[in-house]
A and B are shown apart, each in its own frame.
Chain A
Amino acid sequence: MTIELIIGKYNYWIYISLMMIGFYAMIAKKNLVKKLIGMNIFQTSIILFFISIGSKKGATIPIVEEGVKTIQANQYINPLPHVLMLTAIVVMVSTFGVALALLLLIYRKYHTLEEDEILNLRR
């Protein structure tokens, strides 16, 4: 039962562990770059989650071949989550870009990227 739960839904477990790793890094790490990496892992885990919920066993890419008359839904992967993730990736990349720019600004100002050092400097 438990094994079935773990193996049968392995995609969820993977995404959850990735997400927790990312979450941990975002909250607990003192270095801002590490926080950012954590954020990236966090976002990626969500992308994986979406991708995995769209896939089906033994199904193919959702392109209808010529000459096929009747379309059976279970033969094709659900394309919608994938499409959504394309957009989400764009969003995430831009977040990443803005974040890097911010880090650059912070580094120029304080000459460090350690959170506690910055807080000390600002006090």
Chain B
Amino acid sequence: MSHLPFPILIIVVPLISAFLMILLGWLRKSLCYLLLIFVLGITTLSSFMILEEVLWKGSIHYRLGGWLPPWGIEYVIDPLNGFVLLIVSTISLIIGITSKPMVEREFPERAIYFYCLYLLQITGLLGIVITGDLFNLYVFLEIASLAGYALIAIGEEGAPFASFNYMIYGTIGACFYLLGVGYLYIESGSLNMADLTKLLPGLLSSKVTLIAFAFFSVGIAIKMALFPLHVWLPDAYTYAPSTVSTLVAPLTTKVGAYVMIRVMVNVFPPTFFTETLPAALLLRWMAGLGILFGCLFALAQKDLKRMLGYVLIAEIGYIAMGIGFGNRNGLTGAILHIMNDGLMMACLFLFVGAITLKGWPRKIDQLQGLHQTMPLTSAAFVLSGLSVIGVPPTCGFFSKWYLVLGAIDAKQWLSAAILLASSLCNAILFFRVIEKAYFGKAGNEQRIERPILKRDEAPLIVLIPLWVLTLGVISLGLFSGTIISNIIHLTIPASF
């Protein structure tokens, strides 16, 4: 298996194809989509191979250019990033498949550039996950972000402005991260994560380490849209074209969450942010407030996509809260939620994309009769909505369950209360939409006269991926036990 260098293929193939895409676009525009699917297929396959190898044989170290760490850049894949890698590449493949009709409807003339940016975005995200070098991570972070800014700016009226705002915030975040890298380098003289794991325990008392940690935390928190640094998110994701928000919403923030876990738990010793610093406490508070804030603001929204944006902020809060508990169950919940939330959000945003494709408005109170014209699509929405609420056996329940267990273990009663209250709030949110879509206008007397709308489902190329995601939402819930004991437990450091 190791005769093919999967760790480098997974980065290089999409990167090079991104440029080939432009060339190909000049020659034959119709082939671009196929190239996209082909490349995403390769990345998915390789990440699958990588994860399998990691699980069987232990971590993979791939040295770029043969330079030995800590001097050269090294790609390290352990169960944690192998897992995230698979999530990112699979979801991006599924979303990639659905992109065709949406691109053709919303911006056919810019399809080539879109596919090119799509691949760059994936390169960035995969790079962030796979790299074992802090500075390299910064570069990939910026590749992903830049592609993201451009992708979002393609969208409707307010998009360029929203994208510019996102860029200002994103750049601050990235620069803070870079400063963190700088301070850590001053103190330890290393940029390699594995090396730092060995060096840092001796350097924890230094103020420079503290400052580095602070810069890291703030930078990453901006990138993952953790409350109160989330301000860029709702606008950017609302105005983005539907296929872009479907791609960016589930993945970017999740990869941010991965970086947070990596830095706080792996690079720094886990006890550092739970015991030495009150960082865990702060994180829990931010997460808790973020969950409440996200839910409440989502309630106030009339636009479905915007509502989902705020739900996403709340979901990020869950992950951060799980990390903030600083115990085994909490972290399990957080990592599990990276996967679950990725799936759920992809599913929900794809639903919005599918109804937009068929000319439905995004306003929640204009959705009456949706279930008659698009029964399968709206059923998928119901199931993933139930998952966000946390109704078993969907996967959303299980991550919430671990988070609640984590809260009990950490004796954080307030956090437990917030977790539970938020699922009620989500119930209101989603049943509000479901009610509109399934039961028509409340109190309508003209119910009988309502014309039986003709069936007009989303095209199969959207519908099938949507249902693949939905079935994933259900089945991964039932198999979460297997996933946890085989993958996630390997990712949690022994000291937890």
User: Are the chains A and B members of one assembly?
Assistant: yes
Q: Does B457 contact A (CB under 8 A)?
A: no
Contact between chains at A53 and B185 (CB < 8 Å):
yes
Known A-B contacts A39-B171, A94-B146; the reply to A105 vs B182 at CB < 8 A is no
Given the complex of chains A and B, what is the CA–CA distance between A39 and B149 in angstroms? 15
Residues of B within 8 A of A122 (CB): 157-158, 161
Known A-B contacts A26-B172, A43-B175, A87-B139; the reply to A81 vs B182 at CB < 8 A is yes
Which of B146, B178, B179, B186 is the one whose CB lies under 8 Å from A95? B146
Contact between chains at B175 and A46 (CB < 8 Å):
yes
Residues of B within 8 A of A103 (CB): 164
Q: Does B142 contact A (CB under 8 A)?
A: yes
Q: How would residues 68 to 107 of chain A score, 1 for a CB under 8 Å from any chain B CB and 0 otherwise?
A: 0000000000001100100110010011001101110110
Nearest A residue (CB) for B143: A91
Known A-B contacts A53-B186, A87-B139; the reply to A99 vs B167 at CB < 8 A is yes
Interface residues of A in 39-74 (CB under 8 A from B): 39, 42-43, 46, 49-50, 53
Known A-B contacts A42-B172, A53-B186; the reply to A102 vs B153 at CB < 8 A is yes
Contact between chains at B150 and A35 (CB < 8 Å):
no
Q: Does B135 contact A (CB under 8 A)?
A: yes
Contact between chains at A91 and B164 (CB < 8 Å):
no
Q: Does A32 contact B (CB under 8 A)?
A: yes
Given the complex of chains A and B, what is the CA–CA distance between A91 and B135 in angstroms? 12
Q: How would residues 87 to 119 of chain B score, 1 for a CB under 8 Å from any chain A CB and 0 otherwise?
A: 000000000000000000000000000000000
Measured between C-beta atoms, what is the minimum distance from A91 to chain B in Å? 4
Q: How would residues 155 to 170 of chain B score, 1 for a CB under 8 Å from any chain A CB and 0 otherwise?
A: 0011011011001100
Contact between chains at A91 and B142 (CB < 8 Å):
yes
Known A-B contacts A26-B168, A50-B182; the reply to A109 vs B175 at CB < 8 A is no
Contact between chains at A106 and B161 (CB < 8 Å):
yes
Q: Does A118 contact B (CB under 8 A)?
A: yes
Given the complex of chains A and B, what is the CA–CA distance between A80 and B188 in angstroms? 13
Contact between chains at A118 and B182 (CB < 8 Å):
no
Given the complex of chains A and B, what is the CA–CA distance between A84 and B135 in angstroms? 8
Which of A26, A39, A42, A81 is the one whose CB lies under 8 Å from B185? A81
Given the complex of chains A and B, what is the CA–CA distance between A88 and B139 in angstroms? 7
Nearest A residue (CB) for B149: A98
Residues of A within 8 A of B160 (CB): 102, 105-106, 109
Measured between C-beta atoms, what is the minimum distance from B215 to chain A in Å? 10
Measured between C-beta atoms, what is the minimum distance from B482 to chain A in Å? 40
Known A-B contacts A50-B182, A81-B185; the reply to A102 vs B163 at CB < 8 A is yes
Given the complex of chains A and B, what is the CA–CA distance between A50 and B135 in angstroms? 12
Interface residues of A in 7-46 (CB under 8 A from B): 23, 26, 32, 35, 39, 42-43, 46
Measured between C-beta atoms, what is the minimum distance from B419 to chain A in Å? 33
Which of A84, A91, A105 is the one whose CB lies under 8 Å from B153? A105
Measured between C-beta atoms, what is the minimum distance from A29 to chain B in Å? 11
Known A-B contacts A46-B178, A49-B179, A87-B139; the reply to A98 vs B158 at CB < 8 A is no
Given the complex of chains A and B, what is the CA–CA distance between A95 and B223 in angstroms? 15
Interface residues of B in 28-62 (CB under 8 A from A): none
Listed residue (A42, A46, A102, A106) with the most chain B CB atoms within 10 angstroms of its CB = A102
Residues of B within 8 A of A95 (CB): 142, 146, 167, 171
Known A-B contacts A26-B172, A53-B186; the reply to A102 vs B164 at CB < 8 A is yes
Q: How would residues 169 to 205 of chain B score, 1 for a CB under 8 Å from any chain A CB and 0 otherwise?
A: 0011001001100100110000100000000000000
Contact between chains at A109 and B157 (CB < 8 Å):
yes
Given the complex of chains A and B, what is the CA–CA distance between A53 and B168 in angstroms? 26
Residues of A within 8 A of B161 (CB): 106, 110, 118, 122
Which of A23, A80, A84, A106 is the one whose CB lies under 8 Å from B164? A106
Measured between C-beta atoms, what is the minimum distance from A52 to chain B in Å? 10
Residues of B within 8 A of A109 (CB): 157, 160
Given the complex of chains A and B, what is the CA–CA distance between A53 and B167 in angstroms? 27
Beyond the given A23-B172, A94-B146, A101-B150, could you list 14 further A-B residue pairs with CB under 8 A, ordered by the A residue number?
Answer: A46-B175, A49-B182, A50-B182, A81-B182, A84-B135, A87-B139, A91-B146, A94-B142, A95-B146, A95-B167, A98-B146, A99-B167, A103-B164, A109-B160
- Sort A-B residue pairs by CB-CB distance and give the 7 closest, nearest first: A105-B160, A91-B142, A102-B164, A106-B160, A102-B160, A84-B135, A98-B149
A residues contacting B by CB (< 8 A) are 23, 26, 32, 35, 39, 42-43, 46, 49-50, 53, 80-81, 84, 87-88, 91, 94-95, 98-99, 101-103, 105-106, 109-110, 118, 122
B residues contacting A by CB (< 8 A) are 135, 138-139, 142, 146, 149-150, 153, 157-158, 160-161, 163-164, 167-168, 171-172, 175, 178-179, 182, 185-186, 191
A-B contact pairs, 28 of them (CB 8 A): A26-B172, A32-B164, A39-B171, A42-B172, A43-B171, A46-B182, A49-B179, A49-B182, A53-B182, A87-B135, A87-B139, A91-B146, A94-B142, A94-B146, A95-B146, A95-B171, A98-B146, A99-B164, A101-B150, A101-B153, A102-B153, A102-B164, A103-B164, A105-B160, A106-B160, A106-B164, A109-B160, A118-B161
